[in-house]
């Protein structure tokens, strides 16, 4: 960010104009493109969130809610397994990196 401070005033230069800067300003952009392509520069400067929902994803989420409601023990076990798989993947990545050095 190219923010300049002049006294108590903070501003950013856009083109040939100085515009007051507000640190709470946020810009949200959306697209109807199903698979938009952004340059690496855009990915580096922005937070890209994909809100695409599939039928299978919705079914899985609903199944998790139903199982969590009807069989809390199974849901707890599922969550433990998901956490364990995540830890194992991180450990595998760490071991692969040490092997490649």
pLDDT in tens, 63-75: 988 988 999 898 8
Q: Is the pLDDT of residue 1 over 70?
A: no
Predicted local confidence at residue 64, as pLDDT: 86
Provide the pLDDT for residue 46: 83
What CA–CA distances, in Å, run from 44 to 35, 69, 96, 101? Answer: 18, 40, 26, 27
pLDDT tens, 45-69? 888 787 777 888 889 889 988 988 9
Check: CB of residue 77 under 8 Å from CB of residue 67: no
* Mean per-residue pLDDT of the chain: 86
Angle between helices 72-100 and 55-70 (to 10 degrees): 120
When mean pLDDT is compared across 20-24, 46-50, 57-61, 76-80, the lowest value belongs to 46-50
Burial of 82 per CB tally in 10 Å (0-12, 13-18, 19+): exposed
Any residues with CB less than 8 A from the CB of 1 and at least 6 apart, and which? Answer: 12
Quote the pTM value: 0.43
């Amino acid at each position: 960010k190219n923010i300049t401070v002049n006294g108590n005033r903070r501003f950013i230069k856009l083109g040939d104009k100085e515009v007051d800067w507000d640190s709470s300003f946020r810009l949200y952009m959306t697209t109807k493109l199903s698979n938009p392509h952004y340059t690496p520069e855009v990915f580096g400067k922005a937070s890209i969130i994909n809100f695409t929902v599939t039928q299978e994803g919705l079914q899985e989420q609903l199944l998790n809610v139903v199982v969590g409601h009807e069989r809390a023990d199974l849901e707890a076990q599922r969550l433990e397994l998901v956490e364990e798989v995540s830890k194992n993947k991180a450990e595998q990545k760490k071991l692969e990196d040490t092997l490649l050095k």
